Amino acid sequence: MGYDQISVIDGDIVSETDLNRQSLFSRNDIGMNKAEICRNKIEKLNGMKNLSSYSVYLDSYNIEELLSSANIILDATDSLKTRELINQFSVKKGIPWVLTASHGDMGQIKFIFPEKTSCLECMINGRNMVPMNCHYDSVEPFVPQAVSVMSTSMIKKFLSGTEVDGDLRFIEFRDMSIERIRIDRNPGCSVCFKKEYPLLEDKKIKGRQIY
């Protein structure tokens, strides 16, 4: 896909619990696929015709087909394992991506550009992480909306040719603060230095991976 083509990938369906924090959906959409609803509504809102939707969960079986031609990837998943999969694919293919996460009244955003910034594994470093996402924690409705605005602005900046740093941004809405944490590349990183991509070959990574 070029810069003029946007693909939305999601195998999930709209549920009632989504409505308070995902403003694109309405009660009439309950039970319908999120990716298809997203494409249809955006087309109706602004007439965009460069949208494609895929009603599947991203996994090790389909990631090559779905993302190999991408110029940049925006993560809006609720799965740490899927983020790790995206990270390994991104580093292997040299495709930049933006990691986002929301829980409670906090959000996280990080731009990852292979060979230039630290990657997700540089932060995790082999540790078992507690997932930070809306699947486990209640999320204030405004948090994912604010995170989406900031992350898409970051992508727009990158596509305009402006350099984007790889700092991890913590957004704390309780006191309206943004903390930037510099994360340097880890020379011992198994992904971006040692070039190991086990999840891409792991046939257990199929469908939705919550953990």
C-alpha closest to that of 10 among 211, 208, 210 = 208
CA–CA separation, 79 and 45 (whole Å): 29
Domain span at 190: 72-201
Q: Band the pLDDT of 18: cuts 50, 70, 90.
A: confident
Q: Is residue 61 part of a domain?
A: no
Residue range 21-38: mean pLDDT, rounded:
90
pLDDT of residue 52: 92
Q: Does residue 91 sit in the same domain as residue 153?
A: yes
pLDDT of residue 2: 43
Whether 65 is in a domain gets the answer no
- List the structure tokens of 124: 């995790």
- Please report the pLDDT score of residue 1 as a whole number: 42
Show the tokens assigned to 159: 């596509």
pLDDT of residue 115 exceeding 90, the answer is yes
* DSSP strand pairing (73-74 vs 97-103): parallel
| Statement to judge: residues 36 and 104 lie in one domain | no
Q: Taking 90 as the threshold, does the pLDDT of residue 44 lie above it?
A: no
pLDDT at 126 over 70: no
Mean pLDDT in the chain?
87
pLDDT of residue 129: 52
Do 17 and 104 belong to one domain?
no
| 206 within a domain of the structure (yes/no) | no
Regarding whether 78 and 176 lie in a shared domain, the answer is yes
Query: C-alpha angle with apex 123: 11 to 180, nearest 5 degrees?
Result: 95
Does the pLDDT value for residue 112 go beyond 90?
Answer: yes
pLDDT at 100: 94
Q: Is residue 63 part of a domain?
A: no
State whether 34 and 79 are in the same domain: no
Which pLDDT does position 42 carry in this prediction? Answer: 86
Position 130 in a domain = yes
Say if residue 95 is in the same domain as residue 192. Answer: yes
The reply to whether 105 falls in a domain is: yes
Number of domains in the chain: 2
Same domain, residue pair 95 and 195? yes
Residue 162: predicted pLDDT: 94
| Cα-only R_g, the chain | 17
CB 113 within 8 A of CB 121: no
| pLDDT value of residue 24 | 84
Question: Is residue 38 domain-shared with residue 106, that is, in the same domain?
Answer: no
